[in-house]
Amino acid sequence: MKLVFNIAFAVTLISSCGIYSFSGASIPSQAKSVSIDYFKTSATNSPSKLNRILTESLKDLVLNQTDLDLIENDGDLQFNGKITKYEISPIAINSNESVGKSRLTISIIVKYQNIFDDKLSFENSFSHYSDFESSENFSDIEEQLIELIKDVILEDVFNKAFVNW
């Protein structure tokens, strides 16, 4: 009985402090809104829809994992980002000196501002890659590779902003 009481007390204490959610996100209790600006790009050769994909996916991630309201401008918590790299490079050469594997790398810079605690604000670079067989037609697998890379990068952004890793 004492164990049940202790667990119930701990859960009540944690949830009542207003800075913890069961998704693992640690958000200031006074934060009610978030604004996420449209990602810009300085990367050459990136698909024109990559900006929209990253912006909308970050919005979806934040809305699904937090109780914050998404507003157009001046949220309590603010994100803006820029795509800095979209690059395909060879990583493995076959015995006949042709490219066997290639790598798609996407890098972004994200600026996060927490108006309640500037120590939690940051501007960081995030990058990830996915390898593929060079024999595959890149245009056939490009969307799938972007999805894989995007998921990892945005999870890293979310964790940096809200899980404080």
Query: E strand or H helix at 40, and its extent?
Result: strand 40-41
Output the pTM of the full model: 0.81
Residue pair 59/80 in contact by the 8 Å Cβ criterion? no
Reading the chain (165 residues) residue by residue, the pLDDT tens digits are: 554 444 444 444 344 344 434 445 678 889 999 999 999 999 989 999 999 999 999 999 999 999 999 999 999 999 999 999 999 999 877 767 767 889 999 999 999 999 999 999 999 999 999 999 988 999 999 999 999 999 999 999 999 999 865
How far, in Å, CA of 162 to CA of 165, rounded?
8
- Contact status, residue 48 vs residue 86, Cβ threshold 8 Å: no
Which helix (H) or strand (E) segment holds residue 114: the answer is strand 99-114
